[in-house]
Amino acid sequence: MISAEKIPNNVNLSSNKRLQRALEHWQPKYIQWWRDMGPQGFQDYHHVYVRTAISVDPEGWAHFEYVKLPEYRWGIFLADPTPDRRIGFGDFFGQPVWQEVPGEFRNQLRRLIVTQGDTEPASVEQQRLLGRRCPSLYDLRNLFQVNVEEGRHLWAMVYLLHSYFGRDGRDEAEELLERQSGNRDKPRILEAFNEPIDNWLDFFMFTMFTDRDGKSQLMSLSESSLDPLSRTTRFMLTEEAHHMFVGETGIARILERTCQLMKQAGYSEDVRTVGGIDIPTIQKHLNQWFSLSLDLHGSEVSSNAASYFANGLKGRAKEDTFDEHIVKNAYYNMEFFEDGKPVTKDVLMRNAMNEVLRDWYVGDCAAGVVRWNRILEAHGMSDRLALPDRKFHRGIGMYSGFHFDPNGVPLTAEQWEKRKYDWLPSEADSEYLLSIMAEPVYEPGRFANYIAPPRRGVNQQPVDFEYVRTEQ
């Protein structure tokens, strides 16, 4: 029996029998999926100090306790409704938002919700082996916090599918548990979510850059004319902030430690000889996850995006900061690549909405890289990290199928093949990273050699708190 006790919620679940039955049917499959595809080796005997959302107000957020992962209380929360909310952009600008799904937009909305929903369990699958290589109990706990919240994001999308899409929605909810990250026959929908995350450098880059695509997509969905979608995604954004915190501070702590080790080893010495992660390797992983996450914003010119905007389904990040919201006769000056040369052309702004969101995303990423570089600067290092050019290593959109170096200089296929591992992680880099992560660190307060401790612990607990306990 599903109760508010078992599934914390602010959608009055107990008064909606039909929805309750649908979720009751889905929940055991979800738990089975979590056991099979969630954190491997940490299902039965580990108690994790996690926060559980029990309401949308700030106090509801601060609820910390030890739980066994499969017993986490995944809840359903919508941000409070905005009174008299109006559609903020597109052809229906100014009309009241929708509380139900209009028939003519049913397919488009379902597709957006399924695509969003698919990424959440995918990321849990990608990260399932990391626990056994953790650099500390503090990091292990953060990994699981991210994992349970991604699980909750899946619940959020399944709630929408079950509530507003009838039979089709129920089928889609099942399929969300059937596709699998990296599976040849039933892969996840978007490419970045089929890439392996084997080591903690990948994990931190993923939470920095790919969770940040989560932020930009959720910001644009939170503008939606479908009010329940807007309210669900608004609440998800508060969790996303924590995921990016984990990524940004994780890399910051690696940089800190790399600088320390470089000084010990002598500046010219290869920091790998003392077990650290060298800056070129960090840069390669940045290149990898930034470029994969650029792809997640879709093609530069997209009629899908134009239609989503026209119908008010998906807006721009911070739509209310734009002067004009109908955007019918506006143009975006876009760079194209023709016969090996860049040329700029005007594209109808509505068709360029993916690129508009990508612009916002690149700016948000760049600010994070500036913060990282301050660490290198403070240590007197001359090295700096940088975002690669947008054209570098693209698999979606007009640059896919061509080759560019990180400065955006075009390359032949032959030049690319020769040099790609100067810019992307090689097999040897992965092997090195796995070698320094082979032994997990489970002792409270101890940290792997390649990463500095955090400034402070979680929820005002000390850094050497036992964030994950083992009990038989």
Binding mask 347-366 for ligand BYC (x = CB under 6 A): -------x------------
Residue 401 CA to residue 404 CA, distance in Å, equals 10
214 forms part of the interface with ligand BYC (CB under 6 A)? yes
Report the residue closest to ligand BYC, judged by CB: 298
Residues of this chain, 280-299, that bind ligand BYC according to CB under 6 A: 295-299
Amino acid at 399: Y
Residue of the chain from 8, 75, 214, 425 that contacts Fe ion (CB under 5 A): 214
241 forms part of the interface with ligand BYC (CB under 6 A)? no
Q: For the beta carbon of residue 134, count every other beta carbon within 10 angstroms.
A: 24
Minimum CB–partner distance for residue 210 and ligand BYC (Å) = 5
410, HSE (Cβ side, Cα atoms, 13 Å)? 12
Query: Is residue 252 within 8 Å of residue 215, measured between CB atoms?
Result: no
Helix (H, G, I), strand (E, B) or coil at 105: helix
Residue of the chain from 40, 43, 55, 115 that contacts ligand BYC (CB under 6 A): 115
Query: Is residue 118 within 8 Å of residue 32, measured between CB atoms?
Result: no
Query: Is residue 136 within 8 Å of residue 448, measured between CB atoms?
Result: yes
Residue 62 CA to residue 80 CA, distance in Å, equals 18
Shortest CA distance to 120 belongs to which of 163, 152, 144? 152
211 forms part of the interface with Fe ion (CB under 5 A)? yes
Shortest CA distance to 64 belongs to which of 78, 54, 76, 74? 54
Shortest CA distance to 364 belongs to which of 314, 298, 317, 302? 317
Minimum CB–partner distance for residue 300 and ligand BYC (Å) = 8
Residues of this chain, 346-385, that bind Fe ion according to CB under 5 A: none
Residue 379 CA to residue 310 CA, distance in Å, equals 50
Amino acid at 90: G
Minimum CB–partner distance for residue 284 and ligand BYC (Å) = 20
Minimum CB–partner distance for residue 432 and ligand BYC (Å) = 26
Total number of residues binding ligand BYC (CB under 6 A)?
25
Minimum CB–partner distance for residue 304 and ligand BYC (Å) = 4
123 forms part of the interface with ligand BYC (CB under 6 A)? yes
Residue of the chain from 243, 257, 297, 325 that contacts Fe ion (CB under 5 A): 243
Question: Would you say 140 or 197 has its CB closer to ligand BYC?
Answer: 197
Residue of the chain from 133, 153, 215, 257 that contacts Fe ion (CB under 5 A): 153
DSSP 50-72: EE---SSSHHHH--EEEEEGGG-
Binding residues vs Fe ion (CB under 5 A): 120, 150, 153, 211, 214, 240, 243
Binding stretches for ligand BYC (CB under 6 A): 112, 115-116, 119-120, 123, 150, 190-191, 210-211, 213-214, 217, 295-299, 302, 304-305, 314, 354, 396
